[in-house]
Amino acid sequence: MRALSLLRLVLCLGLWLIGLDARADEPHPGPYLEIGAGALLLEDQSIRLGGEEVARFDYEPTYQIGGAIGYRFGQTVRFAVDFQYSDVRPDRVRFLGTRGNFRGGIDAFTVTLNGFYDFVNRSRITPYLGAGMGVAIVEPRNLRLEGMRLQGGDEHFTIVSEGGFAVSVTPFLQLVPAYRFQWIDDGDRRVENSIAHILRLALRASF
């Protein structure tokens, strides 16, 4: 009986979210603000000399927070300036068979111009896809490798792509779970470019 009741609850919730609903809110043109946070997963990064890998860096799972200022044109097309902060934490490095541990972290600030397409329908859930490009600014934060302090920040070209769902809570408020892929050009052929995966949840307010 409990299993049947739980199944009914899940079914009712699904119908409320994705079923055809006269109360579903249609997106409207105009500006919007978005704030969010999520889990940041960075892929391992290698350094190669003469085609051979000589070093590999591991990163700890960490977080990203930020927001966006955007504008919706019609019901389907949006553009936004996106601001994100990432707490990057190198974990270990393997160099020519030896291992070393990092302490400290890296502050990474990203600013991108993004475009999105909303797949508008009659339900409360609006799927969307988008992409953009901009700059990533990285600054070491008391970063040390086996006691040796590492310094020197830099700016890098970055590309992002994103897919998610906007769930209408009110006519002007949406809850937005999404997945974001980020590629960063590290500017050195010997160093593998950075790749990040972000699972995020945002709150979007339209005006």
Q: Quote the domain boundaries for residue 126.
A: 29-206
Main-chain phi, psi angles of 15, to 5 degrees: -65, -35
74 SS3 class:
coil
Residue 14 domain-assigned (yes or no): no
pLDDT tens readout for residues 58-93? 888 999 999 999 999 988 999 999 999 998 888 767
pLDDT tens readout for residues 15-54? 554 444 434 456 678 999 999 999 999 888 777 666 666 6
Residue 138 domain-assigned (yes or no): yes
Q: Round to whole Å and give the CA distance between 201 and 65.
A: 10
User: In this predicted structure, what is the pLDDT of residue 148?
Assistant: 62
Domain count, the chain: 1
Residue 11 domain-assigned (yes or no): no
Residue 74 domain-assigned (yes or no): yes
Count CB-CB contacts under 10 A for residue 117.
13
Residue 9 domain-assigned (yes or no): no
pLDDT tens readout for residues 135-185? 999 887 766 666 566 666 789 999 999 999 999 998 899 999 999 999 998
Residue 90 domain-assigned (yes or no): yes
Neighbour-count burial of 162, counting CB atoms closer than 10 A to its CB (0-12 exposed, 13-18 middle, 19+ buried) = buried
Residue 2 domain-assigned (yes or no): no
Residue 3 domain-assigned (yes or no): no
pLDDT tens readout for residues 158-169? 999 999 999 999
CATH code: domain of residue 63: 2.40.160.20
